[in-house]
């Protein structure tokens, strides 16, 4: 450890992102990226902005983008916050809304950035175990808390709870902020965005990385009543007053406006997911019901780490977590149809060898 590090840096355990390997003929199914390109309108919008105006700062408030999001969600721009991917939006939410005396609650199996943010901001937290089948039970959160954060669908399991249960959670905990991280909601789950007008303690976070194919552009947003959004803006403007560049704002607006492309690509992914699940089950895998663009599966007769290594030897990358309760599971991104076929073929060969 460096003698120049601050005490907080010494104690941090940073988040480890999914591997981005550079292998020839790679089938990359480990980071939940969309296998299809973004809308052609996105490329055109970015090209239109790539001119002499790049010498100027972008709109610090991203007003046009906020308006596009507000229009889509049936809200006002005062109820929208934007940031550099949903990870930055979540980071601001942890600082602005979830740092209190009582512990923050989130599932024991969930997005592993949550405990990292708690370490960074000095937030006490308590993990709430998922049920044996990896479902999330709202009543298990009837505990003293300084806030609750849930991904819906959950990651890495892909399981989701209906919006009515999110409403029940927000109603039960009116003195706490409830954050619903909907990174994967567009692949079949029910969004909590329509609940925002009813619950002043509800914040819903989205990303354009997954269903809009914009992981490389880094755009995320949150919607909530104006009081919650103001808290996020206060943190953002004390940290980075220009989080989204000119190209990102233009590309994000174009993506949101191309509803036909959005619907077509996510429907292809949902169709591929159902065929992938059927194929995995035919090979003897147990698969958690998923409403995300990935599946969570285990083979009762084979070690997950060994399967992941054998797939890698065939230039197919999936995600394996060496964590309690899930160390025998693989998280597999739903790729393009030919990628899913390659995965199933490789698994069949490995299992039958």
Is 1 part of a structural domain of the chain? no
Is 49 part of a structural domain of the chain? yes
- Please state, in angstroms and as integers, the Cα–Cα distance from residue 127 to each residue in 12, 50, 140, 161, 331, following that order: 18, 45, 11, 18, 21
State yes or no: cis peptide before 156, omega within 30 of 0: yes
Same domain, 265 and 245: no
Encoded tokens for 151: 């991904």
Q: What is the CA radius of gyration of the chain?
A: 20
Same domain, 284 and 208: no
Predicted local distance difference test score (pLDDT) of residue 25: 82
Same domain, 348 and 207: no
Q: What is the pLDDT of residues 37-72, one digit of tens each?
A: 999 999 999 999 999 999 999 999 999 999 999 999
Is 2 part of a structural domain of the chain? no
Residues of the chain with pLDDT under 50: none
CATH number reported for the structural domain that contains residue 268 in this entry: 3.90.1150.10
Same domain, 47 and 122: yes
The domain boundary residue, chosen from 236, 258, 280: 258
Same domain, 223 and 90: yes
Q: What is the pLDDT of residues 152-199, one digit of tens each?
A: 999 999 999 999 999 999 999 999 999 999 999 999 999 999 999 999
Going by C-beta distance under 8 Å and a sequence separation of 6 or more, which residues neighbour residue 66? 77, 80, 82, 221
Locate tokens 């046009």: which residue? 64
Same domain, 224 and 297: no
What is the domain count for the chain?
A: 2
Residue 36 half-sphere exposure, CB side, CA atoms within 13 Å? 20
Determine whether 324 is exposed, middle or buried from the number of CB atoms within 10 Å of its CB (0-12, 13-18, 19+).
exposed
Same domain, 197 and 338: no
The domain boundary residue, chosen from 241, 258, 275: 258
43 closest CA partner among 308, 251, 230: 251
Predicted local distance difference test score (pLDDT) of residue 144: 97
Structure pTM? 0.95
The domain boundary residue, chosen from 258, 276, 307: 258
Same domain, 170 and 28: no
Q: Range of 286's domain?
A: 7-37+260-352
Same domain, 29 and 63: no
Do β-strands 104-107 and 147-151 pair in parallel, antiparallel, or remain unpaired?
parallel
Is 285 part of a structural domain of the chain? yes
């Amino acid at each position: 450890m460096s003698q120049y590090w601050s005490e907080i840096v010494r104690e941090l355990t940073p988040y480890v992102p999914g591997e981005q390997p550079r292998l020839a003929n790679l089938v990359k199914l480990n980071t939940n990226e969309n296998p299809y390109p973004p809308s052609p309108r996105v490329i055109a919008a970015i090209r239109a902005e790539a001119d002499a105006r790049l010498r100027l700062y972008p709109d610090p408030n991203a007003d046009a983008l906020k308006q596009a999001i507000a229009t889509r969600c049936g809200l006002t721009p005062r109820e929208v916050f934007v940031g550099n991917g949903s990870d930055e939006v979540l980071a601001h939410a942890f600082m602005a809304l979830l740092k209190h005396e009582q512990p923050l609650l989130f599932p024991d199996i969930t997005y592993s950035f949550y405990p990292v943010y708690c370490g960074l901001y000095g937030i006490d937290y308590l993990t709430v175990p998922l049920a044996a089948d990896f479902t999330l039970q709202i009543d298990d959160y009837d505990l003293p808390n300084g806030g609750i954060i849930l991904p819906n669908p959950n990651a890495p399991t892909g399981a989701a709870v209906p919006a009515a249960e999110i409403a029940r959670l927000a109603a039960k905990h009116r003195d706490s902020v409830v954050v619903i991280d909907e990174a994967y909601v567009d692949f079949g789950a029910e969004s909590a965005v329509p609940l925002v007008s009813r619950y002043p303690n509800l914040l819903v976070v989205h990303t354009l990385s997954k269903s809009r194919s914009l992981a490389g552009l880094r755009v995320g947003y949150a919607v909530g009543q104006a009081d919650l959004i103001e808290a996020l803006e206060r943190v953002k403007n004390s940290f980075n007053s220009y989080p989204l560049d000119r190209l990102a704002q233009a590309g994000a607006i174009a993506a949101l406006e191309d509803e036909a492309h959005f619907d077509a690509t996510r429907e292809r992914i949902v169709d591929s997911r159902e065929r992938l699940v059927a194929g995995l089950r035919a090979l003897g895998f147990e698969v958690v019901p998923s409403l995300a663009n990935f599946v969570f599966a285990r083979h009762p007769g084979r070690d997950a780490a060994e399967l992941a290594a054998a797939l890698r030897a065939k230039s197919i990358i999936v995600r394996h977590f060496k964590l309690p309760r899930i160390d025998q599971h693989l998280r597999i991104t739903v790729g393009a149809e030919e990628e899913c076929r390659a995965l199933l073929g490789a698994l069949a060969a490995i299992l039958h060898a």
